[in-house]
Every structure is written in structure tokens, then in C-alpha cells.
Amino acid sequence: MNPAPDVFAALRYRDFSIVTLNQFCLTLAILIQEIIVAYSLYHITKDPLTLGLIGLAEAIPFIALSLWGGYFADRFNKQTIMKICLLFALPLPLVLYALFHTYALGQITVNSLSWGIYAVIFGLGTVRGFYNPSATSLKPFLIPRQLYANGATWTTIGWQSGVIIGPMLGGFMLAFLGRETSFLTVAVLLAICFILINLLQKRSFPKIESTNLAESLGEGFRFIWKTKIVLWAISLDLVSVLFGGVIALLPIFAEDILKIGPEGLGYLRAAPSIGALITMLALTKFPPTQHAWRNMLLAVAGFGVFTLLFAFSNHIALSLFALAMTGACDSISVVIRQTILQLYPPENMRGRIAAVNGMFVSSSNELGAFESGLAAKYFGTIMATVLGGGITLAVVVVSWIKTQDLFGVNITEKEH
């Protein structure tokens, strides 16, 4: 009889636990800031497009710099890059503090406030372009290969915990403590992240063989293109998040449709991650890597179905349930994709693969926010959400037809 798997196996490695805690604090900081900025700006302007432009402001530098970030992650020390990025991120919430404070005093116009916010978010996207490839490609060096799936699950739990607590805390702080206190809290959390990364043991990493940037980046693209399961995993998530995500529109649902204010927005924003966290805890015991491709397609289909349910809901309880289920479905596909991206690429290519994945998938959240804001402005908020859910389901059908050979792939064999 086989012994029961150790669900805390990855967390027993000191540096992996530190990085997971760092990810929690960083996610907490970013989400508190996101809630404050998105709700405050929409409350002032009443224009859905402003929510989309926030996403676009972060996506442009992130997309433009991610490949460079992947090259740097494979060429230089990943931990040093993370420290430098956090150092540059520290003053950003303080700049937001100053912008809203001067607007409240009547010293700048709404237009100046908006463009100032977009500039700060642009700076955040620039930092992320270098930080994310290093952070993502660092994790496989902290734990043994056989624990990658367990590590991917705990990484996502750390992230989802921050996504649950951050919005609720952000909504509460906006309602009762004000914007200024919230931005100062974000700065403190970023300082904690910087301290945590400095606690990691010093280590060296395998270096890329080529020093030619174009050739080096080309190697990453060629690997993804010829590795079908990696290509389709990235593509499937990209399209579903780009069109199916409703996160950017939640301030409109909270303010105008459900009429539940900033506290309610915090609950809406946290709901997907509550569903995801519960699912993640189950996945530590029952990993979804058996029949991985089938599970991933079913999870993305579920994401589309519950997005449609949320679009048609007029009741807060049903809306929260639908959002929680989108998070539950998304978490399954995240764990499978992260496991694939850790198992298949060679060690000295992980930074570039993480960069390409980040450029297409992570940035699709921000580009999806822009697409959602644009669609909501011209088609209405509910119709924009319906279109997103419908496109997600259509993509799953196409993927199911085109990837029949991937149903027989057993990625658990790559873990050993």
C-alpha cells in the first residue's frame, strides 16, 4: 500500500516557502492598489473605458519588455533582478497617494489625474516585465523535480490567498480608512517583499549558451512552437482570459448594476479567488495532472459557462457563486499549465519560456481589461460579459477538435 502523499512537501523547503510568502504579500499589495484605483477612478469619471485604459497602460510595457525580462532571467541572477524590480516598485503607491491627494485639493483636473494614474500603472507594467520571468523561472530551482506539481499548487494557493484578502481589504480600507491609508499599506507590503527576497540563500543558475539576443529569444519561441502541449496550453489560456475575463468590469457591476458600493466590489473581486483557493486545497490531495489535457479543456469550458451565469445574474449571492466557480475552474487550468511549463522546458530556457508565457497569458489579463472596457462602452456591460463567455466556449470546442492527440499525453511520467 502506497503512503499518503505529503501535501506540504514543497513548503518544507525554506526558500520555496519564502518565495510563496513573498508572492502572497506582493499579490496583496497589487490587489489593494487595483481596487482603490479602479473604483476611485470609475466613481470620478463614470466612463467604462477608463477601466480598460488602466489595463492597457500596464499591458503595453509588460508585453514590450517580457522577452527582454526572460533573456535577463536566463542571462543574469534571477534573485538580483527581483530585488532591483521591487526597489523600483516601492515608490509607485506613494505617487498614487500624491496624485489623488492633489486632486482632492483641487490642484489638478480629472484629466491630469487619469493620465498620472496611467503613467504609474505603466511603470508597474515595466517592473512586471522584468520581475515576472525571474520569479516564475526561479521556483523550479527551489524544490526537487518530483514536487513541481505540488509546488505549482502551493504557488497558486499563495497567489489566490492574496487575491481573496487583497480586494476585500482594499474595499474595506477605501470605505472606512480612505485612499491615503490604503496606498501607504501597499508601500509597506512592497517593503516586506523586498526584505523577503533578500532572505533567500545565494545561488547560481545555468546560463544560456548564446549571447545573441535575437537568437536567444528565437530559441524560446521555437521550443514553444514545436512542443504542442506547451503551445496549446498557452494559447488556450490566452484566448479565454483575453475575452472571458470580467474582472475589469466589476466596478461597474458593483456601482451601477448590483449597487453594492466599494465593500461589495471587494467581495466580488475576491469571489473568484475564494473558489480557486478551495479548489487548490483539494488539488494538493487530488492533483489534476492525471488526464491533464482533458481536465484543462473541461476547466476552461466551466470558466465560460459560469461567466455567462454571472452576466445574467441580478442577485449578489448568485453573482458571488458564479464568480467563485470561474475561479475554481481557472485554478485547475493554472495548475496544469504551470506544471507543463516547469516540466517541459530545459533548465537554461525557463526564463525565456516564462517570459513568452507571461507576454501572452499574463498580459492577456490587462489586454482583456481593455477589451472588456471597450466592449462595455459600446455594447453595454452585460452584453460584453456574454460575448466573453460565448467566445471562451467556442475556443474550447475548437481546441477539443484540434488536440485529440494530447488526450493521451501523460505529463505525470515527466515528473519522475
**Domain architecture of the chain: domains with CATH:** 10-202+213-411 (1.20.1250.20)
Residues written for the chain: 416
Instruction: Indicate whether 174 pLDDT > 70.
Output: yes
Q: What are the pLDDT digits (tens) for 252-289?
A: 888 888 888 887 888 888 888 788 888 878 887 787 77
Query: Highest-confidence range of 108-112, 206-210, 335-339, by mean pLDDT?
Result: 108-112
Q: Using pLDDT thresholds of 50, 70 and 90, give the confidence band for residue 186.
A: very high
Q: 314: Cβ–Cβ under 8 A, 6 or more apart, which residues?
A: 257, 258
pLDDT computed for residue 197 by the predictor:
95
So what's the pLDDT on residue 1? 42
Half-sphere exposure for 57 (CA within 13 Å, toward CB): 19
CA distance 16 to 18: 5
Phi/psi at 172 (nearest 5 deg)? -65, -45
Is the separation of the CB atoms in 358 and 134 below 8 Å? no
pLDDT-wise least confident of 27-41, 48-62, 377-391: 48-62
Which of helix, strand or coil describes residue 401?
A: helix
Residue 56: all three cell numbers together: 492597457
Looking at residue 207, its pLDDT comes to 65
361: three-class secondary structure by DSSP: helix
Q: Count the helices and strands in the chain (H runs, E runs).
A: 16, 0
In order, the DSSP letters of 131-172 are HHHHHHHHGGGTS-GGGHHHHHHHHHHHHHHHHHHHHHHHHH
Which range has the worst mean pLDDT, 103-107, 121-125, 144-148, 196-200?
A: 144-148
Q: Tell me how far apart the alpha carbons of residues 181 and 250 are, in angstroms, rounded to a whole number.
A: 23
- Record the pTM: 0.71
Give CA–CA dist 140/150, Å, rounded. 11
CA distance to 55, 75, 123, per residue, from 58 (Å): 5, 25, 8
